[in-house]
Amino acid sequence: MTTRIERHHYDVVVIGAGGAGLRAAIEARLAGKRTAIISKSLFGKAHTVMAEGGAAAAMGNVNSRDNWMVHFRDTMRGGKFLNNFRMAELHAKEAPERIWELETYGALFDRTKDGKISQRNFGGHEYPRLAHVGDRTGLELIRTLQQKIVSLQQEDFAETGNYDAKIRVFSETTITELLLEGDRIAGAFGYYRESGEFILLEAPAVVLATGGVGRSYKVTSNSWEYTGDGHALALRSGATLINMEFLQFHPTGMVWPPSVKGILVTESVRGDGGVLKNTDGKRFMFNYVPDVFRKQYAETEEEADRWYKDPDNNRRPPELLPRDEVARAINSEVKAGRGTKAGGVLLDIASRLPAEEVQRRPPSMYHQFKELADVDITKEPMEVGPTCHYVMGGVEVDPDSAAAFGRVEGLFAAGEVSGGMHGSNRLGGNSLSDLLVFGKRAGEHAAAYADALGKRPKVTTGDVERAVDAALAPLSRENGENPYTLQQDLQAVMGDLVGIIRREGELTDALKRLQELKLRVANVGAAGGRRYNPGWHLALDLRNMLIVSECTAKAALEREESRGGHTREDFPKMSPQWRLVNLVCSLDEAGDVHLERKPVPAMRTELIQLFERTELSKYMTDEELTEVE
Ligand SMILES: Cc1cc2nc3c(=O)[nH]c(=O)nc-3n(C[C@H](O)[C@H](O)[C@H](O)COP(=O)(O)OP(=O)(O)OC[C@H]3O[C@@H](n4cnc5c(N)ncnc54)[C@H](O)[C@@H]3O)c2cc1C
């Protein structure tokens, strides 16, 4: 029996309908390209929508001393100098324009008293920099980008009588394979989640905008669709992933009750005055300020408290250190027996702000705790602990065009699925601006690539048949393993052995267990048919989760230092030699993960000159410092 496949032709296919995907699609459509947007979940329900804190852009609205150079410096410091400097530079320079542009699409940001876009403080940012809409910034961003897409569809309708003529959204549709002719992208294959019917989109250019990988971890702020699909699709099509060892564990996830463990408690609670205390009632973050940050952070509670009113003449509270520092500090306090029974510490805003203010500032935090944990945060502290939140590693891309490196042409990546921009650790707020800056670039360059092609690559029947067979395989295994058990086992391996603090023995053990899981996943089964069958969907996702987890574990074992989102108990220091190394994963012929070391591109002189030598000496080797002089 032949399998029915719905076929479409596009110039650019964008996989992912979060901020990066929507911004890329808008740009490709503005360049006149027929563009498809594919979304695994409902249109509008992406991670981007969950972003609360805001989008970082050096507009200088609240403190006029802010500019792209200060933002660039903060981003490089946050990433511990492993960032792709060119991406950090483009991001810092272009973010303000991308935010102002959103206003022309209809976004309504909160305002300062004099009517400018308001900006709030956030960890690691020297000045108030996060443009925000209460704690619903991501929602406003997605709403606005969707609105822009609808307005473009209306223009297309006026011209052609068809809303979908130039830009069409396929929601609740999962892409399982990229199809190639030789080394060039020829299309994408997937299925409608509701009907289980297959879909083939032939296109010479694909933009990956699939977000993160957090569902491979037990405790995570990420939702069900973040199974590393884009990372795995990139690898399988011949592209490379960079620095997959760097995962951000957000310091403040809910820890109680178990049903909500991992859900994020926004950093703006700390930006607005919330402080972290252990069960002895001590503000412990003062004990955890690393030397590299000592100059910028307050040494006493009095100075830290003064900063909220007078940031120009006081140093920042240590609660606002970059996320990796705060997450490790909480981890240490809990380990030392100064944590709560549920394994967290206390985040206190109740004793710091009047109740009405607490309700007004982070309103959804108040409701989140009231409804999910029955805790009134205007009266009691919140119980919080680290949660897997963001992956800094991702598709290795050319910084200017967002084109994927490796053996593949016609593939682009933007947003959380791409790597390099944030180095070893991302600053809060830098993701929303990253996805606008590089989403736009990816859409623009994917369109230009499609334009410049002579003959378009063709999808082969054999490849489509293989994609169909791979998709149907779990349904045909009568005694296959249960996908939910496999996912739990994978989450246990990653959470327990490749988590926030890593050790050689555990990482070696993790790799052994991942190999065992690989064999079991090859035998995963799903009962039932193709019509809305979440077990089948997970069975297909597991293949991606496993391959991406293997990259993370391999790179974590290889990198013998501690930096940003990678902490090795057996190598606790940051090493200037390791700063010169990017770890790059590819797939070999047998489908196994191959890891190689590649040099980190050297920063241009005028960018190096933005830093003081004493600061550079914390990160760079002696040879590099000699060259700087
Ligand atoms: C709770 C929370 C709060 C956050 N707060 C902030 C903040 O305040 N500021 C900030 O800068 N960052 C924040 N972040 C991080 C930020 O929201 C994300 O990194 C960012 O939104 C990622 O955007 P994206 O466009 O790359 O991907 P996403 O928004 O994650 O979208 C990915 C899209 O890809 C689709 N997809 C995935 N796989 C497939 C597939 N196989 N086929 C088809 N479609 C697929 C998904 O359905 C989705 O549409 C937060 C994250 C979380 C979880």
* Residue 267 alpha carbon, nearest atom of ligand 1: 8
The answer as to whether 499 is a domain residue is yes
Domain holding 65, by residue range, is 5-246+392-461
Provide the token pair at 507. Answer: 């990482």
> Is residue 416 annotated as involved in ligand binding?
yes
> Which residues are bridge partners to 117 per DSSP?
111
Whether residues 418 and 497 fall in one domain: no
Single residue among 461, 485, 519 that ends a domain in this structure: 461
Catalytic (active site) residue 360: no
Please state the domain count of the chain. 3
Single residue among 541, 560, 581 that ends a domain in this structure: 581
SS3 184: strand
> Is residue 208 annotated as involved in ligand binding?
no
pLDDT at 179 exceeding the cut of 90: yes
Q: Do 384 and 373 touch, CB atoms closer than 8 A?
A: no
CATH number of the domain encompassing residue 297 = 3.90.700.10
Whether residues 403 and 517 fall in one domain: no
Tell me phi and psi for residue 308, to 5 degrees. -60, -30
The answer as to whether 594 is a domain residue is no
Residue 362 banded pLDDT, cuts 50, 70, 90: low
Whether residues 397 and 503 fall in one domain: no
pLDDT at 363 exceeding the cut of 70: no
pLDDT at 268 exceeding the cut of 90: no
Say which DSSP state 164 is in.
T
Residue 444 banded pLDDT, cuts 50, 70, 90: very high
Alpha helices, DSSP H, located in 9-104 = 19-30, 68-78, 85-104
pLDDT in tens, 22-52: 999 999 999 999 999 999 999 988 899 999 8
Can you give the pLDDT at residue 254? 95
* Residue 416 alpha carbon, nearest atom of ligand 1: 26
Neighbours of 181 (CB within 10 A): 17
Mean pLDDT of 351-369: 85
Whether residues 55 and 185 fall in one domain: yes
SS3 395: strand
The answer as to whether 380 is a domain residue is yes
> Is residue 426 annotated as involved in ligand binding?
yes
Ligand 1, atom 27, residue with closest C-alpha: 211
The answer as to whether 622 is a domain residue is no
CATH number of the domain encompassing residue 94 = 3.50.50.60
Whether residues 116 and 141 fall in one domain: yes
| C-alpha–C-alpha distance, residues 547 and 544, integer Å | 5
Mean pLDDT of 410-424: 98
Tell me phi and psi for residue 232, to 5 degrees. -70, -40
The answer as to whether 403 is a domain residue is yes
The beta-strand segments (E) located in 291-426 are 345-348, 382-391, 394-395, 411-413
pLDDT at 361 exceeding the cut of 80: no
pLDDT at 116 exceeding the cut of 80: yes
CATH number of the domain encompassing residue 505 = 1.20.58.100
Whether residues 189 and 50 fall in one domain: yes
Mean pLDDT of 368-397: 94
> Is residue 271 annotated as involved in ligand binding?
no
pLDDT at 109 exceeding the cut of 70: yes
Q: Do 425 and 564 touch, CB atoms closer than 8 A?
A: yes
The answer as to whether 616 is a domain residue is no
| C-alpha–C-alpha distance, residues 208 and 462, integer Å | 24
Say which DSSP state 457 is in.
P
Q: Find the length of the chain.
A: 629
Place of tokens 């985040």: 347
Alpha helices, DSSP H, located in 388-429 = none
* pTM score, whole prediction: 0.93
Whether residues 154 and 224 fall in one domain: yes
- Among 388, 390, 114, 349, smallest CA distance to 263 is for 388
pLDDT in tens, 221-233: 999 899 999 999 9
pLDDT in tens, 11-24: 999 999 999 999 99
Whether residues 365 and 320 fall in one domain: yes
**Measured between alpha carbons, how far is residue 325 from residues 46, 74, 81, 543, 620 in Å?**
28, 15, 15, 32, 20
pLDDT at 272 exceeding the cut of 90: no
Ligand 1, atom 4, residue with closest C-alpha: 51
* Residue 227 alpha carbon, nearest atom of ligand 1: 38
Mean pLDDT of 84-113: 97
In the reported structure, the alpha carbon of residue 50 is separated from the centroid of ligand 1 by a whole-number distance in angstroms of: 8
The answer as to whether 626 is a domain residue is no
| Angle at the Cα of 10 from the Cα atoms of 9 and 11, rounded to 5 degrees | 140
pLDDT in tens, 141-171: 999 999 999 999 999 999 999 999 999 999 9
| C-alpha–C-alpha distance, residues 304 and 514, integer Å | 45
Whether residues 451 and 310 fall in one domain: no
- Among 325, 318, 341, smallest CA distance to 250 is for 325
Whether residues 91 and 209 fall in one domain: yes
Task: Give the pocket of ligand 1 (CB within 6 Å).
Answer: 15-21, 38-41, 46-48, 50-55, 137-138, 174-175, 209-211, 221-222, 225, 229, 264, 390, 415-417, 428-432, 435
DSSP 189-236: EEEETTT--EEEEE-SEEEE-----GGGSSSBS--TT-S-HHHHHHHH
pLDDT in tens, 194-247: 999 999 999 999 999 999 999 999 889 999 899 999 999 999 999 999 999 999
Mean pLDDT of 182-186: 97
Single residue among 543, 560, 581 that ends a domain in this structure: 581
Contacts of 367 (CB under 8 A, 6+ apart): none
Can you give the pLDDT at residue 267? 82
Neighbours of 1 (CB within 10 A): 3
Residue 1 banded pLDDT, cuts 50, 70, 90: low
pLDDT in tens, 507-520: 999 999 999 999 99
- Among 148, 159, 170, 175, smallest CA distance to 29 is for 148
Whether residues 150 and 297 fall in one domain: no
Percent of the chain whose pLDDT exceeds 90 = 86
Percent of the chain whose pLDDT exceeds 70 = 99
The answer as to whether 587 is a domain residue is no
Whether residues 396 and 383 fall in one domain: no
Task: Name the residue with higher pLDDT: 317 or 256.
Answer: 317
Provide the token pair at 82. Answer: 């492993």
Can you give the pLDDT at residue 381? 95
